[in-house]
């Protein structure tokens, strides 16, 4: 069922998300299909710390949710369990973080697997919940893929700060680039620090040097492609070692391929 369940740290990349959706019971079939397709456009790959009030206020446009223009899908909340109801296939919690009324959080239970998934966390416990935001008949809820009791309440203080930081930073990057930031990881604190920095900031996963090399290779119409010598002569500010490293990276990523020999490359993108 929830194959990503035990793999919270590793399992929130794109593949795990769509895998989880298609297997999800609970009647959300159509959102799963469209969200799978939407994966290739710049939809949120982030997991964003939020308040329950933000989740309730999030606007829904088709299958996407937005909080102040920031697209959200996977979220982390922290709150106290007010109620826990165990059903055969799921546990329904009401989780309260003081910002609004408690939120419904559903955790699907793997009926075959004995173990922690079936243990109900008792009311009165502060927990960290990672899950997907859902809306059904205008009522928001979360489908949790991980619920963990907080062992150190200082984590809660950190969470308060992370919420402000994440939403501020995400909103700023939307306002300035008008495009979703790529691969923020947890929500990109360290990436954000280097965001405005200059030539070595990855864009689309490529550094400036790699992009320059790729663009030159792409623009070459010859069937045997562009040679390393030609690249060096056109890119005066980049030394041969860097060019070779860029070519190696681009080749291993599949952006370019060698033609007549290891010195000549063409782009895999049709121009």
> Which stretches of the chain bind other proteins, using CB under 8 A?
51, 53-54, 56-57, 59, 66-69, 80, 82, 96, 98-102, 124, 126, 150-154, 157, 160-161, 163-164, 167-168, 171
Q: Min. distance of Cβ 38 from other proteins in angstroms?
A: 21
Q: With respect to other proteins, which residue has the nearer C-beta, 56 or 257?
A: 56
**Closer CB to other proteins, residue 33 or residue 80?**
80
Is 165 or 251 the residue whose CB approaches other proteins more closely?
A: 165
Q: What is the CA radius of gyration of the chain?
A: 23
CA pair distance 19, 1, nearest whole angstrom: 10
Angle between helices 14-23 and 29-37 (to 10 degrees): 160
Tally Cβ neighbours within 10 Å of residue 143: 20
Residue 12 neighbours by CB distance under 10 Å: 22
CB of 176 to other proteins, least distance (A): 17
C-beta of 81 vs 130, nearer to other proteins = 81
User: DSSP letters of 128-139?
Assistant: EEEEEEEEETTE
| Helix, strand counts (H, E) of the chain | 8, 12
Which residue(s) pair with 70 in the sheet?
Answer: 67
- Measured from the CB atom, the residue of 176 and 215 that comes closer to other proteins is 176
Residues 6 or more apart whose Cβ sits within 8 Å of residue 134: 28, 31, 140, 141, 142, 143
At its nearest, how many Å lie between other proteins and the CB of residue 83? 11
Q: How far is the CB of 98 from other proteins (least distance, A)?
A: 4
Contacts of residue 103, Cβ cutoff 8 Å, sequence gap at least 6 = 52, 55, 56, 77, 79, 94, 95, 96, 140, 141, 142
Give the nearer residue to other proteins in terms of CB position, either 124 or 196. Answer: 124
Residue closer to other proteins, measured from CB, 18 or 165: 165
The least CB distance from residue 124 to other proteins, in Å, is 6
Side-chain-side CA neighbours of 14 within 13 Å: the count stands at 14
Q: What share of the chain is helix, strand, coil (3-state, %, to 5)?
A: 35, 25, 40
């Amino acid at each position: 069922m929830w194959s990503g369940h035990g793999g919270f740290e590793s399992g929130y990349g794109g593949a795990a998300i769509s895998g989880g959706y298609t297997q999800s019971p609970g009647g959300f079939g159509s959102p799963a299909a469209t969200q799978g397709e939407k994966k290739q456009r710049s939809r949120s790959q982030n997991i964003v710390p939020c308040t329950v009030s933000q989740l309730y206020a999030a606007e829904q446009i088709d299958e996407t949710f937005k909080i102040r223009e920031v697209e959200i899908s996977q979220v982390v909340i922290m709150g106290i369990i007010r109620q826990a109801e165990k059903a055969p296939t799921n546990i329904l919690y009401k989780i309260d973080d003081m910002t609004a009324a408690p939120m419904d959080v559903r955790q699907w239970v793997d009926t075959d697997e004995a173990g922690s998934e079936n243990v109900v966390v008792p009311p009165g416990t502060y927990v960290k919940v990672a899950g997907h935001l859902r809306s059904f008949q205008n009522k928001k809820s979360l489908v949790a893929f991980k619920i963990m009791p907080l062992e150190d309440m200082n984590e809660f203080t950190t969470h308060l700060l992370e919420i402000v930081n994440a939403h501020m930073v995400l909103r700023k990057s939307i306002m300035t680039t008008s495009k979703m930031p790529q691969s923020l990881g947890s929500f990109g604190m360290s990436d954000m620090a280097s965001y405005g920095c200059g030539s070595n900031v990855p864009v689309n996963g490529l550094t400036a040097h790699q992009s320059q090399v790729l663009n030159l290779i792409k623009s070459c119409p010859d069937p045997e492609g562009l040679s390393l010598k030609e690249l060096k002569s056109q890119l005066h500010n980049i030394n041969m070692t860097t060019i070779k490293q860029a070519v190696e990276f681009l080749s291993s990523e599949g952006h370019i391929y060698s033609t007549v020999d290891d010195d000549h490359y063409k782009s895999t993108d049709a121009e």
